[in-house]
Amino acid sequence: MTDTAIAPDALPAAFAAAGDLDAVNALLPQAGVGPGWAKPKPSVYPQPNRIFVPAHWRAADTRAALDSASRYVDTHMSERRNLIMVNPHPGNDYATARTLVAAYQLVLAGETARSHRHTPNALRLVLDAEPGAYTIVDGNSIPMAPGDVLLTPNWKWHGHDNRASSNAFWIDFLDVPFIHLIEPMFFEQFADWIEPAGDPQPDSPFRFAFAQTGPAVRAMAETRPGERLMELGPPHMTTIGLHLRHLSAGAALHDPRTTMNAIYAVIEGTGSMAAEGKRFSFSRGDVLVVPAWSASDWIADSDVTLLRVSDEPMLKMLGLLRSEQPD
């Protein structure tokens, strides 16, 4: 950049008088533009420029951390007592994958978590909950049982009411990073803390009860040897896709690279996943992330059921869903 500022009206004459390309480049910042012929880094590239990395979080660790934190953090101090699964790539401080975030949450016995609503879509996978634990969605008490998936679509009031005698523990998934990117973030707290709710609605359309979905995915025909894949819905969310993935004991599967970001939560079973030179052993309640354009290899030590949370429907809608073709 030139050391001396040039009046806007004088810029055309300055460009005309530039004696070489370096002189032109030096004047460009004063016109508020950058040279497309000398970009500091490429703006297009032959394939995705992967930044987020495969990672794994253990439920045992996070449950112990939340149990400890619950002695000091209540739902008045923080509406959601949760631990965010921050992808360990340099510079990241929130997202689990480019478009998605996951967090473990704990609600104590007899505790309520304030109702609120927001433009991000959200859902939860229940790990531990006894009868009497509810998520309240738009005034409806929806029971929570282990393995259940509960939806809180965007701008619907939702809060939590644990009337059981034991603590409730689950995993939240949201498209907050995507909303941060495109910016239509809105959030509102319910004025009277917790939204009044009527009788429990076990058959709510916002609940996929594992008592039904678990046997259903196990009874499906295989999508490929050792694997069964079942979409959850309707209802569907426009930005988040949900699938139950069942792996038979002994299955060994390779997933090619895809533009889809996927977070996997282990509902039952044990096994391992390898991606980008890292191998992670997993068990019930653990979470794994396979970011866009990362291949992964799965081995099931026992029968495994996973919840896959992805941005697949959004990519399909935009015509951006691609998978690497085998050689």
292 in Cβ contact with 97 (< 8 Å):
yes
What's the rounded Cα separation, in Å, for the pair 112 and 15? 66
Long-range residue pairs from 87-94, CB within 8 A, at least 24 positions apart, any chain? 87/52, 87/53, 87/55, 87/289, 87/291, 88/53, 88/55, 89/51, 89/52, 89/53, 92/52, 94/176, 94/177
Are both 223 and 194 inside the same structural domain? no
What's the rounded Cα separation, in Å, for the pair 210 and 281? 24
Tell which residue, 165, 174, 170, 148, has the closest CA to residue 261: 174
Element (H, E) at 180: helix 176-182
CA distances to 48, 59, 220, 258 from 265, rounded to whole Å, are: 25, 10, 20, 19
CA distances to 273, 289, 321 from 259, rounded to whole Å, are: 18, 13, 6
Are both 75 and 198 inside the same structural domain? yes
Q: What amino acid occupies position 286?
A: D
What is the reported pTM? 0.94
3-class DSSP state of 241? strand
Residue 271 domain-assigned (yes or no): yes
What's the rounded Cα separation, in Å, for the pair 112 and 115? 9
Give 231-286 pLDDT, tens digit per residue.
Answer: 999 999 999 999 999 999 999 999 999 999 999 999 999 999 999 999 999 999 99
Q: Which domain holds residue 219?
A: 212-318
Query: What average pLDDT does the structure give for the chain?
Result: 96
**What's the CATH number where 105 sits?**
2.60.120.10
Average pLDDT over residues 173-194: 97
As for how many domains the chain has, the answer is: 3
Give 47-79 pLDDT, tens digit per residue.
Answer: 999 999 999 999 999 999 999 999 999 998 998
Residue 246 domain-assigned (yes or no): yes
Q: Which tokens belong to 136?
A: 């309240």
Q: Which of 170, 190, 210 is the last residue of a domain?
A: 210
Residue 325 has pLDDT above 90, yes or no: no
Are both 127 and 189 inside the same structural domain? yes
Tell which residue, 159, 129, 121, has the closest CA to residue 235: 121
Count of CB atoms within 10 A of residue 51's CB? Answer: 14
Element (H, E) at 104: strand 101-107
Are both 187 and 90 inside the same structural domain? yes
97 in Cβ contact with 84 (< 8 Å):
no
Average pLDDT over residues 188-205: 95
